[in-house]
């Protein structure tokens, strides 16, 4: 803890003082102007604040719907793609804080396997929920059914999975995820992140992909690679919020069922750019 008279990042202070349990939730509230320093809103999470300053929540603050804003991404997918999770066994690949896991549970999932290569990130309320099995320090690229369900596989396999992975193409992880699911009923929602799917030459300053043509190429590639794995694109949309640094992300609904749906990807990309143009960028 910093001594009186020193300064500390605002997002660090609000977590230390118990106003938020995670820095991600703290940053979201700060950027929305919901954290007051000496009575005035400060909207930069990294703003240096004197440790003796009065820091409080705005009277207009409302607790977030999910443990992280990632839950809003899956929520849109479930609603728009008309996916029911009631009683289903689900995988959350790249669980992190647990926004997707939380969303799954709030939409009736019977069991969620929260998988992440990191450690200690999952929100404590989810960590202590008996419906959640936490698998940390697990590289999903090496995922197997025995890692998830044990050697005897006494539990039912997952028939729904969400994927939110970073610093690797989701389609390098997808094969191992599929072999660990119920082969007959596999259904997935993949968060497609162009910054990790496009070639490095297409990623701009700060790790942001801004070119609509690159987004379109990434979505076409996603369709092709999914098809090579025996999956069919049921629908495509875009995330309602931008990712870190301001990247536009896309939601891809896949399953084993054949589909005649033909999404107008060019129109989708155009709409995503138009509607998210004014969305302020999140700070990493």
Mean pLDDT of 112-117: 97
Distance CA 186, CA 201 (A): 34
CA separation, residue 147 to residues 153, 157, 264 (Å): 10, 12, 39
Residues 208-253 pLDDT 10s: 889 999 999 999 999 999 999 999 999 999 999 988 788 999 999 9
Distance CA 100, CA 70 (A): 6
Alpha helices in 81-193 (DSSP H): 99-106, 124-127, 145-149, 170-179
Residue 67: closest CA among 98, 96, 44: 98
Question: Within 10 Å of residue 49's Cβ, how many Cβ atoms?
Answer: 20
Distance CA 13, CA 26 (A): 10
DSSP 5: T
| 160 phi/psi in degrees, rounded to 5 | -140, 140
CB 247 within 8 A of CB 226: no
The DSSP annotation for 223-265 comes to HHHHHHTT-EEEEEEE-SS--BTT---EEEEEESS-------H
When pLDDT is cut at 50, 70 and 90, the band that residue 5 belongs to is low
Q: Is the pLDDT of residue 2 over 60?
A: no
Tokens 């069922």: give the residue: 257
When pLDDT is cut at 50, 70 and 90, the band that residue 169 belongs to is very high
Two domains, one topology: 7-57 and 70-276 = no
pTM (2 d.p.): 0.83
DSSP 186: -
Structure tokens at 269: 């990309």
The DSSP annotation for 34-97 comes to -EEETTEE---TT-EEETTS-EEE-TT----SSSSTHHHHHHHHHHHTT---TT-EEEEET-TT
What are the contacts of 102-106 at 24+ separation with CB within 8 A?
A: 102/66, 102/67, 102/68, 102/71, 102/126, 103/66, 103/70, 103/71, 103/72, 103/74, 103/75, 103/78, 104/74, 104/162, 105/129, 105/131, 105/132, 106/65, 106/66, 106/71
Distance between first and last Cα of the chain: 23
Q: Is the pLDDT of residue 282 over 80?
A: no
Fold of the CATH domain 7-57: 3.10.290
Q: Which CATH superfamily is domain 70-276 in?
A: Vaccinia Virus protein VP39 (3.40.50.150)
Q: Is the pLDDT of residue 207 over 80?
A: yes
Structure tokens at 24: 């991600």
Domain ranges of the chain: 7-57, 70-276
pLDDT over 70 percentage in the chain = 96
Question: Within 10 Å of residue 86's Cβ, how many Cβ atoms?
Answer: 8
Residues 31-73 pLDDT 10s: 889 999 999 999 999 999 998 999 999 999 888 889 888 999 9
């Amino acid at each position: 803890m910093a001594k009186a008279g020193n300064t500390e990042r605002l997002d660090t202070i609000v977590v230390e003082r118990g106003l938020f349990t995670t820095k991600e939730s703290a940053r979201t509230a700060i950027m929305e102007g919901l954290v007051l320093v000496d009575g005035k809103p400060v909207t930069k999470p990294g703003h240096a604040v004197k440790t003796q300053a009065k820091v409080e929540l705005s009277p207009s603050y409302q607790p977030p719907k999910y443990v992280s804003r990632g839950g809003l991404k899956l929520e849109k997918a479930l609603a728009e793609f008309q996916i029911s999770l009631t009683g289903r066994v689900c995988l959350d690949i790249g669980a992190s804080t647990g926004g997707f896991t939380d969303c799954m549970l709030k939409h009736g999932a019977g069991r969620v396997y929260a998988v992440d290569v990191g450690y200690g990130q999952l929100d404590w309320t989810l960590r202590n929920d008996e419906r959640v099995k936490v698998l940390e320090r697990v590289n999903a690229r090496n995922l197997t059914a025995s890692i998830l369900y044990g050697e005897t596989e006494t539990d039912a396999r997952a028939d729904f999975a969400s994927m939110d992975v970073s610093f690797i193409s989701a389609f390098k992880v997808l094969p191992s995820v599929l072999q660990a699911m119920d082969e007959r009923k596999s259904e997935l929602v993949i968060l497609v992140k162009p910054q990790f799917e496009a070639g490095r030459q297409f990623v701009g300053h700060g790790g942001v992909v801004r070119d609509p043509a690159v987004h379109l190429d990434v979505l076409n590639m996603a369709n092709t690679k999914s098809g090579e794995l025996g999956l069919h694109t049921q629908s495509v949309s875009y995330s309602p919020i931008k990712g870190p640094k301001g990247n536009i992300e896309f939601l891809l609904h896949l399953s084993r069922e054949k589909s005649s749906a033909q999404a107008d990807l060019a129109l989708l990309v155009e709409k995503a750019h138009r509607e998210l143009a004014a969305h302020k960028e999140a700070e990493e």
